[in-house]
A and B are shown apart, each in its own frame.
Chain A
Amino acid sequence: MTKQEQLQEILRELKQALPELRSIVVASTDGLPIVHAAVDAPRVAAMAATALGLGKRISQTTELGSLEETIVRGNQGYFVVYAAGDKGVLAVSAPADANLGLIHLEARSFAGRLAQIL
């Protein structure tokens, strides 16, 4: 399998594992979309990279240790950005009634797998 196919496969599995996700974007840390299931992926990819970059800086400056994820919470849902190694970003959005704990659990493990490939 090519790298792209492996990434597509992970994307498919993540959708299966967390069907409540509204969108998924895998991007490079400098904000370019790699694989996605999302509307307006280029924009979301850039914003996810910004959120992750800023999140890393905030957790460093305020001595929170290494960043686990950056969460944006609106009254209608969540947007969560995870680091996928040094080179990748995994961003997912979910409705407000989603189980955030479960999302973290699954997404972190998928982010780890993405990091291996990226």
Chain B
Amino acid sequence: MEPLKIVVTGPVGAGKSTLIRTLSETEVVDTDALTSENIGKETTTVAMDYGTLHLGDQLLYLFGTPGQDRFDFMWDVLSDGALGLLMLIRGDKPEDFVAARKQLDYITSRHPVPYVMGVTRQDRPPVWGPEEVAPFFGLPLQRVVGINATDPQSAATPLIRLLELMLEDQRAV
């Protein structure tokens, strides 16, 4: 069976690599480079993160994109043909929301890919919750999920939501 691909995107430091490490069964292939900007961490993804998840007889690839918009070409490369897009944002970092909105608009207006948004750090208040994030991004509430990227069950919920919404859209056709 042909493997399917989920793309995890979002601004720098949203927890993309963390979420993929939490979900992946295999050791995650990362492409970290030392940062030269002040982004609150030592290294940053420059090409992709890559992890895998076997679900029954179906192999799922998890691809994480770089966060900075100078790497927008990688958003295109990785989103092409994806089963779904998971956009992560840090709920306690509203200063990144505008960049995140740009990124989400860019990808979803260019690639016909079903998406959900995961709002991380729900375990660390004060934090924006899904019901507050959704109107800012102009998204229906069911497309926004609050998560904690280090917890496996929590990290899996946006994927579950993504598939549920896909099935629902299918039925609506």
Check whether chain A touches chain B (CB < 8 angstroms): yes
Known A-B contacts A42-B70, A46-B73, A50-B71; the reply to A30 vs B33 at CB < 8 A is yes
B128-160 interface code vs A (CB 8 A; 1 in, 0 out): 000000000000000000000000000000000
| A93, CB-defined interface residue at 8 Å | no
A-B contact pairs, 24 of them (CB 8 A): A28-B33, A28-B34, A28-B36, A29-B33, A29-B34, A30-B36, A31-B66, A31-B68, A32-B37, A32-B70, A43-B70, A46-B73, A47-B73, A50-B46, A50-B66, A50-B73, A50-B74, A51-B47, A53-B47, A54-B31, A54-B47, A57-B47, A86-B34, A87-B36
Extra contacts besides A32-B37, A51-B47 (19): CB < 8 Å = A28-B33, A28-B34, A28-B36, A29-B33, A30-B34, A30-B37, A32-B36, A32-B70, A43-B70, A45-B70, A46-B68, A50-B31, A50-B66, A50-B71, A53-B33, A54-B31, A56-B31, A57-B30, A86-B34
Mark each residue of chain A from 33 to 58: 1 if its CB lies under 8 Å from any CB of chain B, else 0.
00000000011011101111110110
Closest to B44 in A: A30
B74, closest chain A residue (CB)? A50
Closest to B43 in A: A30
Which residues does chain B contribute within 8 Å of A16, judged by CB atoms?
A: none
B59, CB-defined interface residue at 8 Å: no
Q: Which residue of A lies closest to B29 (CB)?
A: A57
Select A49's contact among B30, B37, B46, B48, beta carbons within 8 Å.
B46
Interface string of B61-72 (1 = CB under 8 A from A): 000001010110
Q: How many residues of B contact A (CB 8 A)?
A: 19
A-contact bits for B28-53, CB 8 A (1 contact / 0 none):
01111111110000001011100000
A42–B33 alpha-carbon span in the complex (Å): 17
Instruction: Write the chain A residue with the least CB distance to B72.
Output: A46
CB contact between A53 and one of B46, B68, B70, B73 (< 8 Å): that residue: B46
Cβ–Cβ < 8 Å partners of B66 in chain A: 31, 50
For residue B33, which residue of chain A has the nearest CB?
A: A29
Q: Which residues of A contact B46 (CB under 8 A)?
A: 29-31, 49-50, 52-54
CB distance from B84 to the nearest CB of A (A): 23
Smallest Cβ-Cβ distance to B73: which chain A residue: A47
Determine the distance from Cα of A31 to Cα of B70 in the docked complex, in whole angstroms. 8
